[in-house]
Chains A and B, each alone.
Chain A
Amino acid sequence: MEQEPLLLKGNEAVAYAAILCGCDGYFGYPITPQSEVLETLAALRPWETTGMVVVQSESEVASVNMLYGGGGCGKKVMTSSSSVGIALMQEGISYMAGAEVPCLIVNVQRGGPGLGTIQPSQADYLQATRGGGNGDYNLIVLAPNSVQEMADFVGLGFDLAFKYRTPVIMLADGVIGQMMEKVVLQPQQPRRTNEEIAKECPWASLGRSKERDINVITSLELQPEKMEERNIMLQKKYRSIEENEVRYELIGSENPDVAIIAFGCSSRISKKVVQIAAEEGIEIVLLRPITLWPFPKDAIRELSTKVKSMLVVENNAGQMFYDVQHAVEGHIPVEHYGRFGGIIPTPQEILDKIKTML
Chain B
Amino acid sequence: MEKSEIINKGTLVYQKPTLMNDTPMHYCPGCSHGVVHKLIAEIIEEMGMEDKAIGISPVGCGVFIYKYIDIDWQEAAHGRAPALATAIKRLLPDRLVFTYQGDGDCAGIGTNETIHSLNRGENITIIYINNAIYGMTGGQMAPTTLLGQKTATCPYGREAQLNGFPLKLTEMVAQLEGTSYVTRQSVHNVAAIRKAKRALRHAFEVSMQGKGSCFVEIVSTCSSGWKLPPEKANKWMEENMFPYYKIGDLKDE
Contact = CB atoms under 8 A, between A and B. Distances in A.
B106 interface: no
B72 A69 contact: no
A68 B83 CA distance: 9
A47 to B, nearest CB: 9
Interface string A216-248: 111110000000000000000000000000000
B53 A69 contact: no
B73 A214 contact: yes
A258 B113 CA distance: 52
A220 B87 contact: no
Given A194-B92, A214-B70, A66 B84 contact: yes
B85 A205 contact: no
Interface in A309-341: none
Contact of B73 (A75, A217, A219): A217
Interface string B6-46: 00000000000000000000000000000000000000000
Contacts of A206: 54, 72, 92, 95
B72 A65 contact: no
Contacts of A215: 72-73
A70 B91 contact: yes
B112 A58 contact: yes
A214 B72 contact: yes
Contacts of A65: 76-77, 80, 83-84, 87, 113
A75 B84 CA distance: 13
A62 B80 contact: yes
A206 B57 CA distance: 15
B225 to A, nearest CB: 20
Nearest to A96: B77
A201 to B, nearest CB: 12
Interface string B44-75: 00000011111011000001001000111111
Interface of A is mostly: mixed
B251 interface: no
Nearest to A220: B75
Contacts of A293: none
Interface string A293-308: 0000000000000000
Interface in A77-91: 77, 91
A194 B51 CA distance: 13
A122 to B, nearest CB: 28
Contact of B70 (A53, A66, A208): A208
What are the 5 A-B residue pairs with the smallest beta carbon separation, nearest first? Answer: A69-B84, A65-B83, A218-B75, A58-B116, A69-B87
Interface of B: 50-54, 56-57, 63, 66, 70-77, 80, 83-88, 90-92, 95, 112-113, 115-116
24 contacts: A27-B87, A59-B112, A61-B112, A65-B80, A65-B83, A68-B77, A69-B86, A73-B92, A75-B87, A75-B91, A92-B77, A95-B76, A95-B77, A194-B92, A205-B54, A205-B74, A208-B50, A214-B66, A214-B72, A215-B73, A216-B72, A217-B73, A217-B75, A218-B75
